[in-house]
Structure 1
């Protein structure tokens, strides 16, 4: 399984947020480097001594005050709306996909994410050595994924649990959902046993 596929189940995807942050960071870095180059006089002493706000630009803005204010207000409103949209987009809950197994009219069959999670959790808890399990379906309807947490009893053979989990639990989940690939992130918690007080 490729890394790009398997990582879908590890955590919520923040690709868009990281992309925007990277672009903003690169633009800020480019602006800072440009200011440093001009300020150090690498482009000539004349440019280094000029004020930050070019007098020609200030004069042009003074002569076109009304259009400049309109453009500034429009840009400000657009940035404000974009910021609100991005804020609420980042806070929205992670998708929990419902899988449509049959779309034929009159025979529609949809499996909810809750049913998927409950079935996988029940199968995982039936594996020998597993004290408790928790499953969660994530992703979207076209690319579902699973997050599975297992609590193992003390002394459990981890290799045997892993083999049964892959051969029975995850295989059954793939067959039931009609998918060839079901990215799954498995977290395993090991019981340390009951602690004894030292006297």
Structure 2
């Protein structure tokens, strides 16, 4: 959804900027422009001195300008924050065999995956987030490994045990998982 909104907003912004820029370029070059266009020649200015002075004495002018600019800044900040937020899957569609299906809370499946991943040998901590569509979920797993753990063994056991059990219990054909491994920091060991 966010991807579609981004494309639509960027497309509209680009179209507006292209049209306004082209019209200003045409007026600046002295080419004919429509009669309703506010600038009609290369020596014309954006706001004349009379237009700038006309609004200065109005009591409502500056509060409206500040409010509009504040709304634009808030919308831009909201959009920026939305870029970094990942859409967490709220529910997973489980095939119940009756043609209807059942809904499983995404947080519940994440919790089970986390607890099973943390029970694996060599895993200190795990964090799981489900993304994708409810009929085709994807897992993003962050594992913090103990200093003695083998990353290959931990990854193999995670995919075969934790992710495999979640896939089978939810009745999914596949459950793609993106796994990020980090090693836990530990102090130096003394040799005697």
Same fold (TM over 0.5): yes
- C-alpha deviation, 1:157, in angstroms: 1.3
- C-alpha deviation, 1:36, in angstroms: 4.7
Match of 2:51 in 1: none
Task: Tell me how far apart the structure 1 counterparts of residues 97 and 2 of structure 2 sit (CA, whole Å).
Answer: 31
- C-alpha deviation, 1:15, in angstroms: 0.6
What TM-score results when the alignment is normalised by the length of structure 1? 0.58
Match of 2:170 in 1: 177
- C-alpha deviation, 1:40, in angstroms: 4.4
| Alpha carbons of structure 1 residues 33 and 109: separation in structure 2 relative to 1, 3 Å | closer
Match of 2:27 in 1: 39
Match of 2:13 in 1: 25
Q: Which has the higher contact order (CA 8 A, sep 6+)?
A: 1
Which structure features the higher share of helix residues?
1
| Alpha carbons of structure 1 residues 53 and 181: separation in structure 2 relative to 1, 3 Å | same
Does residue 100 (structure 1) correspond to residue 94 (structure 2)? The answer is yes
Match of 2:108 in 1: 115
Match of 1:70 in 2: none
Match of 1:60 in 2: none
Task: Tell me how far apart the structure 2 counterparts of residues 94 and 162 of structure 1 sit (CA, whole Å).
Answer: 23
- C-alpha deviation, 1:120, in angstroms: 1.0
Task: Tell me how far apart the structure 2 counterparts of residues 33 and 183 of structure 1 sit (CA, whole Å).
Answer: 46
Instruction: State which of 38, 41, 57 in structure 2 corresponds to 1:53.
Output: 38
What TM-score results when the alignment is normalised by the length of structure 2? 0.60
Match of 1:132 in 2: 125
Kindly report the root-mean-square deviation, in angstroms, between the aligned alpha carbons of the 2 structures: 3.6
- C-alpha deviation, 1:32, in angstroms: 4.1
Q: Where does structure 1 lack aligned partners over 5 or more consecutive residues? A: 1-12, 56-83
Q: Where does structure 2 lack aligned partners over 5 or more consecutive residues? A: 41-74
Match of 2:69 in 1: none
CA contact (8 A) 1:146 1:185 kept: yes
| Alpha carbons of structure 1 residues 193 and 109: separation in structure 2 relative to 1, 3 Å | same
- C-alpha deviation, 1:123, in angstroms: 1.9
Aligned length: 147
